[in-house]
Amino acid sequence: MEVLPPAWYYTEDAVARITFKDKSYTSQNFKETQWKLATDVIVNNAKHGSIEVYYLNEKPALHEGPFLKEERSLIDSLSQLLGRAIENIQKSEEILNANQQLKASEQQLIAANQQLIAGEQQLRAANQELMASEGKLKISEYRYRSLVDNSPVSLWEEDWIDVIEMVEEIQNRGITNFESFFNSNPDFVDEALSKVKILDVNTETLHMFKAKSKTEMLKSLSVVFGTADILPGFIGELIALAKGDSLYETEMKLCTVKEKLLLPFCE
């Protein structure tokens, strides 16, 4: 601030003040008087401050009060320079902030990319484990199927889901004497029997029932089960299911697909 007063004609009597927003900067022995020369500081087309020069004592009248025409030009030029300098500082700060934000975004992008790479590696590892598990499952399934198909006894794969739902429904009704219920409700038993789905049989079953293929076997079930032993045997299975027994054995006579009666068949 001490560089401004020496630039005025009456140097020894001049004091100055620069105001920007809420801050004020003054020269030594500053005091406001009636002999004032001032101009606004414009930043980005808006007033943000001012430059003021005062004489402490009265001086002869010149161009603008006691001030010279050149002093008016000087103070206006100073305000323009100061305004442009402040604009440049603000732009520099904006660029600096933008660069910092860009760096922060870049770091976030790098971190996100690292997480993506890590996630991809985990996904690949999981996929490899899944493929290995599928391979093991196929091997186990093949072994199981081989054991079933090559078993020396007749094996049947059946779907009893609908029958289980029917039995659970009567349990929910509070029925506990299952033998009496099934023997006195033939329509229920017939419906349950119709809901048993035979999904597959093994090779020994085809030999035993004289079927040329599984297709022939599955299409001939009405013939195979067309004996008087079927309903009593099935009722026994329903009773075991309702009681929660995990094992049930019975003997019943069945027929081959050629309608030839077989010896008692253990189920």
Predicted local distance difference test score (pLDDT) of residue 264: 54
Predicted local distance difference test score (pLDDT) of residue 265: 52
> How far is residue 38's CA from residue 193's CA, in Å, rounded to a whole number?
109
| Residues whose CB is less than 8 angstroms from the CB of residue 154 and which lie 6 or more positions away in sequence, other chains included | 201, 202, 204, 205, 208, 209, 265
Report pLDDT digits (tens) over 213-240. 989 988 888 888 878 888 888 899 999 9
Question: What ranges do the domains of the chain cover?
Answer: 5-92, 152-266
Predicted local distance difference test score (pLDDT) of residue 3: 74
Predicted local distance difference test score (pLDDT) of residue 72: 92
For residue 216, CA distances in Å to 67, 200, 202, 213, 235 come to 122, 12, 13, 5, 27
Predicted local distance difference test score (pLDDT) of residue 57: 93
Report pLDDT digits (tens) over 177-197. 999 999 999 999 989 988 889
- In the numeric block, the tokens 């406001």 are attached to 32
Do 218 and 205 touch, CB atoms closer than 8 A? no
Vertex 166: Cα angle to 246 and 155 (nearest 5): 45
| Residues whose CB is less than 8 angstroms from the CB of residue 204 and which lie 6 or more positions away in sequence, other chains included | 151, 152, 153, 154, 155
Report pLDDT digits (tens) over 235-256. 999 999 999 988 888 888 888 8
Q: Residue 173 — pLDDT band, cuts 50, 70, 90?
A: very high
* Residues, the chain: 267
